[in-house]
């Protein structure tokens, strides 16, 4: 699992996928109850990076039905809807998940992963209310990384997600500050994949060409 996570963060997606399947196989042989969840988290991240998130729609629908208490599956289902459709589809998806202002979402190990998964849904929808709500909920975790489970994958630095929300809201100075913080954390954490995301987001904010992670 950890080797797969490191491969993903290095941007080696083929290796990460091979290790995700190996992790699932080992977990099944050992009877590890969370093997399916680990695999789901890693494949979700891999498919998102490949631009193939919509392929997971049937699997996430089934997982959400089997595990209604695991809220991150509902958030993942919303992320797929946002990736597949129009802003109207994204808005319907995030309102479905956040209809009760996340009051029914337990503050468990999936809480921070759920918030990170919902950020691109809210921004794709252009839903200011939900973006500001996510800003408020994520703010206490600024300066940390969003880790899924026991290290199956990550949604990058919280400051990156805050920057994405500020940028979508037109709050350029706040967004740039958050992206600068995120770049520093991603460098320290040695996560070239997320460092690249942050550098590109900051460059887009400035209207400049996207730098490579090494620049």
Q: Average pLDDT in the 132-159 region? A: 94
Closest CA to 56 of 71, 44, 45: 44
Q: Average pLDDT in the 29-40 region? A: 90
**CA–CA separation, 57 and 21 (whole Å):** 19
**Between residues 86 and 128, the one the model is more confident about:** 128
Q: What is the pTM of this model?
A: 0.91
The confidence band for 211, taking pLDDT boundaries of 50, 70 and 90, is: low
pLDDT at position 76 over 50: yes
Position 85 scores a pLDDT of 82
Q: Where are the chain's structural domains?
A: 1-50
Q: Average pLDDT in the 106-114 region? A: 88
pLDDT tens for residues 159-195?
A: 999 999 999 999 999 999 999 999 999 999 999 999 9
């Amino acid at each position: 699992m950890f080797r797969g996570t490191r491969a993903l963060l290095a941007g080696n997606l083929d290796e990460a996928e091979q290790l995700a399947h190996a992790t699932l196989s080992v977990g099944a042989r050992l009877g590890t109850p969370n093997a399916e969840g680990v695999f789901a988290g890693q494949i979700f991240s891999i498919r998102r990076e490949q631009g193939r998130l919509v392929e997971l729609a049937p699997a996430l629908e089934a997982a959400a039905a089997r595990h209604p208490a695991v809220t991150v599956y509902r958030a993942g289902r919303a992320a797929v809807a946002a990736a597949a459709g129009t802003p109207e589809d994204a808005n319907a998806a995030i309102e479905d998940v956040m209809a009760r202002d996340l009051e029914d979402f337990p503050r468990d190990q999936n809480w921070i992963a759920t918030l990170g998964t919902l950020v691109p849904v809210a921004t794709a929808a252009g839903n200011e209310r939900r973006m500001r709500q996510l800003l408020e909920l994520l703010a206490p975790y600024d300066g940390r990384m969003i880790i899924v489970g026991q290290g199956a994958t990550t949604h990058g630095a919280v400051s990156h997600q805050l920057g994405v929300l500020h940028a979508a809201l037109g709050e350029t100075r706040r967004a740039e500050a958050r992206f600068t913080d995120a770049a520093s954390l991603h460098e320290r954490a040695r996560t070239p994949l997320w460092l690249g995301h942050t550098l590109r987001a900051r460059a887009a904010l400035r209207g400049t060409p996207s730098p490579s992670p090494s620049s």
